[in-house]
Amino acid sequence: MKTWLLSTGVIVLSALLFIGCSDSINNNVTIKNLSDGDVYLNFRGSVFDIASGQTTVISNIPKGSYTYSTTYTVPAGASGSATQGNMSGTLILNAGTKILLLYSSTLISETYTIYVTISDSDNQSTSTSTNSVLPGKNERKTNLNLTGP
């Protein structure tokens, strides 16, 4: 009886250690800048400078809601600028959340337009951008005949 009680206690204790609280936080925000200019993200009291073509990952973010805002540089040759998407807002991080902020841009008729799309590992049902295809880019369409001969 004592052996059974001791072995059960060891198994329960081992299980609690393995499924207990983790000592690391797996929440992260990735900022990928595909736009022609630099992007500056104001997040959690810090400004992150992401040069054109670069990616920055912010790791070990505690669970919670955080506001962010974006500023950007307009490249030479542009006489005006516009934005599409949520250049500022709130990011909600639950346990194990991964968020991607993807910046891209176009330069049409001397107007620089910067776009941001946001995706996260918690919510795959909604999009935070109004445009899924950039102006001037061709959307790839596939026509399949599924009715047979």
Q: In the structure encoding, which two tokens stand for residue 67, read together?
A: 């506001």
Judge whether 41 lies within some domain: yes
Residue with tokens 């891209």: 104
CA nearest 39: which of 81, 71, 76? 71
Determine the structural domain holding residue 81 and report its residue range.
24-120
Give the separation between CA 72 and CA 34, rounded to whole angstroms: 12
Domain membership flag for residue 97: yes
With respect to residue 14, please indicate whether it lies within any of the assigned structural domains. no
Kindly report the pTM of this predicted structure.
Answer: 0.68
Instruction: Please count the structural domains in the chain.
Output: 1
Residue 82 within a domain: yes
Assess if residue 15 is contained within a domain. Answer: no
Residue 17, in any domain of the structure:
no
Residue 136 is assigned to a structural domain of this protein: no
Q: Distance between CA atoms of 32 and 103, rounded to whole angstroms?
A: 6
Domain CATH code at residue 111:
2.60.40
Residue 52 lies in a domain: yes
Cα dist. 114→14, 22, 88, 123 in Å? 52, 39, 13, 24
pLDDT in tens, the chain (149 residues): 666 656 666 565 555 555 555 544 789 999 999 999 999 999 999 999 999 999 999 999 999 999 999 999 999 989 999 999 999 999 999 888 999 999 999 999 999 999 999 998 876 554 444 444 444 443 333 333 333 33
